[in-house]
Structure 1
Amino acid sequence: MKTPSLYLQNCLFFTANALARSVTRLAEKAFRDTGLSPSLAFAVMLVNDQPGITVKELAEHLHLAPSTLTRFTDKLVYQDLVERKQEGKLTRVYPTDRAREAQAAIEKAWTRLHEDYSAVLGREAGDALARETFAAHQRLEDLS
């Protein structure tokens, strides 16, 4: 019989979740100075990059449920980082001046996160792991 640690080491569910927790800790540390969670910061970056993006598009880019993005948007509106505009059935999200001003700090945090995990994994290995994880996510997403 295998030891419990071998079961866990050979299970994608447990190893992926353990990796996610480790990366989340690194990301929260890297983004702390922005005053935003990493997910909210990435949402602001997307809105800055694509003014007028829909909540649905944001949800797709961030791989989150639309209801989660609605809550994110509520928080960002409250923090005066985005504004929503209704166009028929679509809700479009636009950056505020405050969001555009935050962009440099967010990009700095993103760079810090990349440097932090690259320092441990190696730049090439970290980048390859990110690409492989994304590709696996896309293939598995097709099953659901």
Structure 2
Amino acid sequence: MLENYLKECLYFTANRLSRIVAKMAEEEFRISGLSPTYAYLLMAVYDKEGISQKELGEILHLNPSTITRFIEKLTAKNLIYNKVEGRLSLIYTTEKGKELEETIYKCWMNLRRRYSDILGEKEGDELTLLLDQVSNQLENKE
């Protein structure tokens, strides 16, 4: 009976999925020397050099204090630097950070390929889009 409750519980099933996918991501991103979240932050900076901390938080759905902590960590690793312009703190990659770009995208592709091999590429893409839509719906309802 409890097993049925758990299978029908969004909280439980979402957390289970999160743990499984997080483990896969950590394994795939290991060669970059970064956790997946740090790598995704760098991907956002690659996409838009001079991105603001606020934009990073919005893109990655992370609180400002978390973004600040991540930026401090990546700055300490000499992968990014921030330049203050007025009231904005803008983030750029260093040469060392740029050198990781190919590796990080390879890790991302390996992760995508890994779950696509299990779920099917179309099904994996559809599930990802559905989860994004559901997350947006639930986030906007609170």
- Partners of 2:12 and 2:62 lie apart in 1 by 20
- Partners of 2:5 and 2:117 lie apart in 1 by 28
Q: Retained in 2: the 8 A contact 1:48–1:99?
A: no
- Matched residue pairs, number? 142
Trace 1:1-144 onto structure 2 (pairs within 5 A).
Answer: 3-144=1-142
Q: CA deviation at 1:49?
A: 1.2
Q: CA deviation at 1:86?
A: 1.1
- Partners of 1:7 and 1:23 lie apart in 2 by 22
Q: CA deviation at 1:101?
A: 1.0
- Taking only aligned residues, the RMSD between alpha carbons, in angstroms, comes to 0.7
| % same residue | 43
Q: CA deviation at 1:92?
A: 0.7
Q: CA deviation at 1:119?
A: 1.2
Task: Give the ranges of 4+ consecutive aligned residues of structure 1 lying more than 2 Å apart after TM superposition.
Answer: none
Normalising by structure 2, what TM-score? 0.98
Q: Give unpaired runs (5+ residues) of structure 2.
A: none
Q: CA deviation at 1:90?
A: 1.2
Q: CA deviation at 1:48?
A: 1.3
